[in-house]
Amino acid sequence: MAVLVTGGAGYIGSHTVLELLNRKEKVVVIDNLVKGHREAIKGGTFYQGDLRDEDFLCNVFEENEIQEVIHFAAYSLVGESVEDPIKYYNNNVVGTIQLLSTMKRYGVKNIVFSSTAAVYGEPINIPILEEDATIPTNPYGESKLAIEKALKWANKSGDINYIALRYFNAAGANKDGCIGEDHSPETHLIPIILEAALGKRERVFIYGDDYDTPDGTCIRDYIHVVDLAEAHILALDKLRREGESGIYNLGNGRGFSVKEVIDKAKKVTGINIPVKIGERRLGDPAVLVASSKKAKKELNWNPKYNDLEKIIEDAWNWHKNNLNGYRR
């Protein structure tokens, strides 16, 4: 019996695959490698292909005894989703529905789904609770919310049991430095800051300093990728044990502004990183900070690496030792 990991060659997926392998789980990975890297998958059986390809997907389910699915494969960039919403609906909604249909066809019920803080939009309360309003400010968040709703109905009909994990901002890298974050082009704040520290970019553009926050820059809740990976294992355990569906926030409950993240990175690297204030980026909410009380209570999740400096240290370790990411 195997766990199918879609998007397992990607950033969070590859860290979760490693945790699964450490637990001696049998792992099957699907990835089209549009964003991911073959080198990031440290074991299991790999199939290169696209979720939207029905024949490909059926073949994977035919050749393996899939027991559960952890579903990461998606596009996930807020700004890009505003510029090209159809691309996002096509991959994130059509791709996931194709996956759910195939699961139903092969009688696979349990799925852990990568949702996002972007489903909330501009929050009314900080920290954000799972039952707070979900009014996304971008198509990316809408596409993930659409799937959460499909999962809710598929659960009511008895077809699917799911745990949707709404992660806040993933960052850091595996402690032993064997895998890390390598997106091309990179758009995420922490790797961009570290690339500037390494001289790979001239400066960091801060996307707006006129938000309604203490220093005017956006506030986010950064969570270590290994803690995220651990939450997937716990979610899988819960689905196996109880088969009960649910939605959980995953964050540290502490927000840092863009300027604060840059200051922390300067401290960790010892390098003076040049910055420039730029325009706001489309679709960005001002503040996203999680309450993860529910995940702590019901999944027994206990994030270990919740200090932002330590998160940046692990990312820095990966970036300075892998100047070209996975491309050697």
Ligand X SMILES: O=c1ccn([C@@H]2O[C@H](COP(=O)(O)OP(=O)(O)O[C@H]3O[C@H](CO)[C@@H](O)[C@H](O)[C@H]3O)[C@@H](O)[C@H]2O)c(=O)[nH]1
Ligand Y SMILES: NC(=O)c1ccc[n+]([C@@H]2O[C@H](COP(=O)([O-])OP(=O)(O)OC[C@H]3O[C@@H](n4cnc5c(N)ncnc54)[C@H](O)[C@@H]3O)[C@@H](O)[C@H]2O)c1
Contact set with ligand Y (CB under 6 A):
7, 9-13, 30-36, 50-52, 72-74, 76, 91, 95, 114, 116, 167, 169-170, 183
Active site residue 140: yes
From residue 284 to residue 323, the character string flagging contacts with ligand X as x (rule: CB under 6 A) and all else as - is x---x-----------------------------------
Selected binder of ligand X within 112, 117, 233, 268 (CB under 6 A)? 117
Residue 11: which of ligand X, ligand Y, none does it interact with, CB under 5 to 8 A by kind? ligand Y
Instruction: Provide the residue type at 78 as one letter.
Output: V
Compute the distance between CA of residue 271 and CA of residue 71 in angstroms, rounded to an integer. 38
Tell me the CA distances in angstroms from 263 to 153, 223, 268, one per residue in order. Answer: 45, 18, 9
Instruction: Determine contact, residues 282/82, Cβ cutoff 8 Å.
Output: yes
Query: How far is 265 from 287, CA to CA, in rounded Å?
Result: 20
Residue 32 or 257 with smaller CB distance to ligand Y: 32
Between 66 and 290, CB nearer to ligand X: 290
Q: Measured from the CB of residue 184, what is the shortest distance to ligand Y in angstroms?
A: 10
Vertex 323 angle, CA 320 and 328, to 5°: 135
Of these residues, 88, 140, 162, 248, which one is catalytic?
140
Residues 13-72 that bind ligand X (CB under 6 A): none
Burial of 206 (0-12, 13-18, 19+ CB in 10 A): buried
Least distance (Å) between residue 132 CB and ligand X: 14
- State the binding partner of 218 from ligand Y, ligand X, none, CB within 5 to 8 A by kind: ligand X
d(CA 299, CA 71): 18
Q: Is the dihedral of CA 44, 45, 46, 47 positive or negative?
A: negative
Q: Pick what 316 binds: ligand X, ligand Y, none; C-beta below 5 to 8 Å, kind-dependent.
A: none
Cis check: omega of the bond before 127, within 30 degrees of 0: yes
DSSP bridge partners of 59? none
Residue 206 site contact among ligand X, ligand Y, none (CB < 5 to 8 Å, cut-off depends on kind): ligand X
CA nearest 227: which of 126, 147, 300, 124?
300
Decide: 187 and 180 in contact? Cβ < 8 Å: no
3-state helix, strand, coil in the chain (%, to 5): 40, 20, 40
What's the min distance (Å) between Cβ of 58 and ligand X?
29
For residue 307, give Cα distances in angstroms to 37, 69, 230, 313.
28, 30, 17, 10
> Nearer Cβ to ligand X, position 280 or 293?
280
Which CB sits closer to ligand X, 230 or 284?
284
Q: Find which of ligand Y, ligand X, none residue 52 binds, CB within 5 to 8 Å per kind.
A: ligand Y
| Minimum CB distance to ligand X smaller for 5 or for 196 | 196
Distance, CA of 135 to CA of 119 (rounded, Å)? 6
Q: Tell me which of 187, 209, 213, 277 binds ligand X, using CB under 6 A.
A: 187
Nearest CB to ligand Y, comparing residues 49 and 216? 49
Query: Which option in ligand Y, ligand X, none does residue 238 bind, with CB closer than 5 to 8 A by kind?
Result: none
Residue 225 interacting with ligand X (CB under 6 A): no
> Are 17 and 228 in contact, with CB atoms under 8 Å apart?
no
- Binding residues for ligand X, total number by CB under 6 A: 22
Both structure tokens of 304? 């270990």
Which residues of this chain interact with ligand X, rule CB under 6 A?
A: 76-78, 116-118, 168-169, 187-189, 192, 204-207, 218, 220, 258, 281, 284, 288
Give the residue numbers marked as catalytic.
Answer: 140
